[in-house]
Structure 1
Amino acid sequence: MGGNDGDRGLLRLSGLAALVGLVSSVLTVVFLVTVQGVTEFLNGDLKRGLLPSDLFWIFTIGLALACGLIVGLLIKRYGENSGLGHAQREFDETGKIDHRHLPDIIGTSFVSLLSGASVGPEGALSDLTGGVGTYISERLRLSKEDLKIIVFAAIAGCFGGFFSSPVVGVVVSLEYMFIKKLDYYRLIVPALVAAAVGYAGFYLLLGTSLSFTFSFPGYDAPRMIDLFYAFLLGLLGAGLGIIHMLLMRGSGKGLAMFRSRPVQRALLGAAVFGCIGVLLPLSLYSGQSSLQSLLTTFKQEGALVLLALVAAKMVTMSISFGSGYKGGPIFPLLFIGGTFGMAVSLLLPFIPEGVCILVLMSSFICAIWPIPLSVALFLGLAVQPALVPVIVIGSVMGYIVSSAVKARMAEKTAAGPAQ
C-alpha cells in the first residue's frame, strides 16, 4: 500500500509539474521576447531617429543613465529583494521564492537588461518562474515538501526551454539553485517532466528549441596532447577566474558605501559601463549575442583587442552587480571566458582553436560559479563529441582550483581575528 501511495503521490506531483512547466515556458518566452524587442527598438529605430551616427555615443551613455536612475529609484522604493545568491539562499532556507516581491524584482531586472549592464536574463527568470511556482503551490495548499518540489520544477521548466534540453535544464537548476540535499526521484522526476514540457512550450511558441546558438570552431583530429593542453589551459582559466572573483568582491566592497544611496550608486555604475561601452560596444549587455559575433570575427579583431574586451567586460560586470543592477552571471562569464580563449588561441596557434576557447570558457565560469556539470553538458551539446573531454577537464579544473583558493581564503579570514 505504501508503495502505491508513493507512486500515486509522485504521479500527482508530476502532473502538477507539467502544468507549472508549461506556465514557466510561456513566462520565459514572453520575458525574453519583450526584452529583446525593446532592446532592439531602443538601439535601432529610436537611436537612429534621434541622433546622427557620429553622436550615437550620447544615446549609449544617456540610455545607461536613464535606466540607472530607474533601477536606483526602484531599489530605494522597494529595497534589495534580489541579486547574486539571493534566490538561492531563500530557496535553501524556505523552500520557495517569495512571490510578493515579483513586480519590483522583474521591473528592476527588466530595466537592468535594457541599460547595457553586464547581467544576464537567467537571474530574473529563476525569480519569476520560482515565484509563480510558489504562488500556484500556496493556492493549492501543498505541503512544505511538495511546495519545494513544485517550485524547483517551475525553475526547471524555464531552464529546460532556455538551455534547449530538458536534461540540461534540470542539471542547471540543481547547480544554479545550489541544491545540496534532495530526495532524488521525488525531486528529479517532476523536474524532468516540467523541463520537457518547458522545452516543448519553448519550441511551440518560438518555432525553435533554442533561445541562442553558439558556433564554435571545428575540431577534426583529436589528439592526446590536447588533453594535456586542456589541463594547462584549465589552470590558466581558473587563474583568471580567481582574479575576476577578487575584482567582483572588491567592487562590491567599494560600492557598499553607497548602499544607503541606491540612486547615486546605480548612476555611478551606469556612467562607468556606459563610457566603457562607447569605447568597446561589445562590452555592453549580457554578451550573449556579442559572443556569437566574435566567434566569426575574432581573427580580424586581433589578440590585443580581445584582451582589452576581456578586461573591459570584467570591469563592467563587477561594476554592474556591485552598483545594484539585477540579473544572472552565466552569460557575461561565458563571454569573458570565451573571448579570453579566442585571444589565447591567436597567441598560441599550435593549440586547436576549439580547445582554447572551450577549455578557457568552461574553466573560467566554473571558477566563479560552481556549476561544472551544467557547463559540461550545456557546452557539450553545442560542439562535436571529440571536444567534450576537454570541456570536462576545463570545468573540473576551474571548479577544483577555485574551491581550493576559496577554502584557503576562508581559513585566513577565520584565523585573522584570532591572531
Structure 2
Amino acid sequence: MAIDSSVPTGPAPESTPVRRLLPVIVPALAVGVLSALVLLGVSLLAERLQDVLWETLPDALSVGRYSTLWMIVMLTVSGLAVGLLVRVVPGHAGPDPATTGLVDPPLPPGVVPGLLLVTAVTLAGGVSLGPENPITAANIALAFWLGRRFVPGTPMELWLSLAAAGTIGALFGTPVAAALILTETLTERAGPGPLWDRLFGPLAAGTAGALTMTLLAHPSFDLALPAYDGPHWGDLLSAVVIALAGAVLGMLAVYALPYAHRFFRALRHPVLALTAGGLLLGLLGALGGHLTLFKGLDEVKELAADPGGRSAGQFAVMAVVKTAALVIAASCGFRGGRIFPAVFVGVALGLCAHAMVASVPVALAVTCGVLGMLLAITRQGWLSLFTAAVLVSDAAVLPMLCVASLPVWLLVTGRPQMQLHEDGTPLK
C-alpha cells in the first residue's frame, strides 16, 4: 500500500526481534531441506558410479578391484573425464577450486549442474576430496537464485547463511556444526543485533538439513573407539604433542599448495592438468593402499576398526600419502573439499601415535591428531574441536582437546591458509 507523503507520519516504529525473525523460519526450513536433498542426490549418484567403476567394471575385466594397475588407470581416467567435463560444461564448473573456501558468494545458477556433475565424478573416481565445498557452493547459488525470485529484495547474506548452514548441518548430521562454523563467519561479518538473532535462521536451516539427512541416510561419524576413561597428567603432554604433529603435517600441505598449483597451472590446459593430477593420485594410491583413496569418511571407519592391525610405520605412510593426495587434488583442478581427507590424515596420525606408545589412549590420540590437522587446514577453531570430539562421542576428551588447541592455534594463526588468491599467492 502506497504511503501519502503529504501526511506527516513520524518515525516508523522499530520492529521487534520476534517480528523480524518469524518470517525467516519458513525460508530457512525450505533451504535446509533443499540443501540436504542436493547433498544426498549427489552422494547417491557418486556411490552408484563408484560401484560401477570399482566393482562391476574390474570384475568384468578380471582385474583386481584395488590392484595397483586399476588404481593408476582409474584415477588417470577420472582426471581425464573431469578435465573434459570442466572444459565443456557451462561456466566450467565454477572458479579454480584452489581459490575457493567453504562459504563463498553465490555462483551463477547456470554453473550449478556442471559443478554437481563434476563433483559426483570426482567422488566416484577415488579422488582425495570431500563433497563439502562444491555442494555448499551449489546450494548457496540455488538458494540465492530461488530466494531472489520468490522473495525479492532480501539480502544476499541471508540466503548465503541459510544455504551454508543447511549444507553443513546435512554433512555432519547435526545443526550444532553449522551454528559453530557460522559463529566464526558471522563474527567476521559483524552486523547489528545479538549473535543469536543472526544465528536464528541458519540454525533453523541447519536443523532442517540435519534432520532430512538423518531421516533419509542415517549418517554417523562415531568411530566406535574404546572409551576415554578421563584425563590423566600424562595425557596432557600426549595431547599437545600429537595435536602439534597434526598441525605441522597440515602446515606442510598448506605451504606446498602454491607450488603444486603453479606446476599444474604451467600445463596451461585443464584437461592436461587434471589428467596429470589423476595419474599422480593413482601412483600415490598404489603406494598408500586403497584406503587412502576417496573422500575418507568410510575409509577412516575401516582404519579405526582395527587400531592394532597395522604398524606405526604403516599408519605414518598412510597419513603422509593422504596429505600429498590432498595437496595434488586441491591444486590440479578437482572440485571438492578438504575437511574429510584432513580427518583421515588426523586419524591415521593418531593411530600411528598409539601404535608407537601403547599407553596413549587411542581415542585421545585420534581426536588430537584430527584437531591439529583441521586447525591447520581450515583455520576454523569450532569446526576442528567439534569434528574431533564427534568422532568418539565422548565428552571426556573435550578438556584435553581444548588444552591441545591452544599451542596449535599459536602455531597456525597468522600464517598462510590453504586457499589461494587468483594470482596463486596464499591467503593469510
Output the TM-score relative to the length of structure 1: 0.87
- SS of the residue corresponding to residue 223 of structure 2 reads coil
Find out whether 1:86 has 2:100 as its counterpart: yes
State how many pairs are aligned: 399
Find out whether 1:273 has 2:273 as its counterpart: no
What residue is the counterpart of 2:399 in the other structure?
Answer: 389
Find out whether 1:103 has 2:116 as its counterpart: no
Output the TM-score relative to the length of structure 2: 0.86
CA distance in 1, matches of 2:250, 2:28: 36
Find out whether 1:12 has 2:23 as its counterpart: yes
Post-superposition CA distance 1:40-88 (Å, at most 9, x none): 2321222212224389443322222222112112333344624145255
CA distance in 2, matches of 1:296, 1:88: 30
Find out whether 1:324 has 2:337 as its counterpart: no
Kindly report which structure 2 residues correspond to 1:205-216, keeping only aligned pairs within 5 A, or say none: 205-206=216-217, 208=218, 210=219, 212-216=221-225
Letter in 2 for 1:86: T
Letter in 2 for 1:14: I
Find out whether 1:401 has 2:411 as its counterpart: yes
CA distance in 2, matches of 1:228, 1:276: 33
Go from structure 1 to structure 2 and tell me whether the alpha carbon gap of 1:378 and 1:89 turns closer, same or farther (over 3 Å shift).
closer
Letter in 1 for 2:135: L
CA distance in 2, matches of 1:187, 1:38: 40
CA distance in 1, matches of 2:66, 2:383: 42
What residue is the counterpart of 2:388 in the other structure?
Answer: 379
Post-superposition CA distance 1:354-376 (Å, at most 9, x none): 22221121011101211111121
Post-superposition CA distance 1:296-341 (Å, at most 9, x none): 2232210111111112112111111111111000011111111011
Structure 1: stretches of 5+ with no match in the other structure: 408-419
What residue is the counterpart of 1:166 in the other structure?
Answer: 175
What residue is the counterpart of 1:118 in the other structure?
Answer: 128
- Residue 181 of structure 1, aligned match among 186, 190, 193: 190
Go from structure 1 to structure 2 and tell me whether the alpha carbon gap of 1:228 and 1:390 turns closer, same or farther (over 3 Å shift).
same
Find out whether 1:196 has 2:207 as its counterpart: yes
What residue is the counterpart of 1:68 in the other structure?
Answer: 79
Q: Give the conservation status (yes or no) of the 8 Å contact 1:313–1:336.
A: yes
Find out whether 1:342 has 2:351 as its counterpart: yes
What residue is the counterpart of 1:413 in the other structure?
Answer: none
Q: Give the conservation status (yes or no) of the 8 Å contact 2:103–2:136.
A: no
CA distance in 2, matches of 1:186, 1:2: 19
Q: Give the conservation status (yes or no) of the 8 Å contact 2:139–2:164.
A: yes
Find out whether 1:137 has 2:147 as its counterpart: yes
**Structure 1 runs, 4 residues or longer, greater than 6 Å off:** none
**Displacement of 1:226:** 1.5
CA distance in 2, matches of 1:269, 1:128: 24
- SS of the residue corresponding to residue 383 of structure 1 reads coil
Q: Give the conservation status (yes or no) of the 8 Å contact 1:129–1:154.
A: yes
Letter in 2 for 1:113: L
Q: Give the conservation status (yes or no) of the 8 Å contact 2:228–2:397.
A: yes
CA distance in 2, matches of 1:5, 1:189: 14
Letter in 2 for 1:189: F
**Displacement of 1:141:** 4.2
CA distance in 1, matches of 2:20, 2:185: 27
Go from structure 1 to structure 2 and tell me whether the alpha carbon gap of 1:245 and 1:54 turns closer, same or farther (over 3 Å shift).
closer
The root-mean-square deviation of aligned C-alpha atoms, in Å, is 2.5
Q: Give the conservation status (yes or no) of the 8 Å contact 1:159–1:170.
A: no
Go from structure 1 to structure 2 and tell me whether the alpha carbon gap of 1:165 and 1:396 turns closer, same or farther (over 3 Å shift).
farther
CA distance in 2, matches of 1:270, 1:175: 34
What residue is the counterpart of 1:37 in the other structure?
Answer: 48
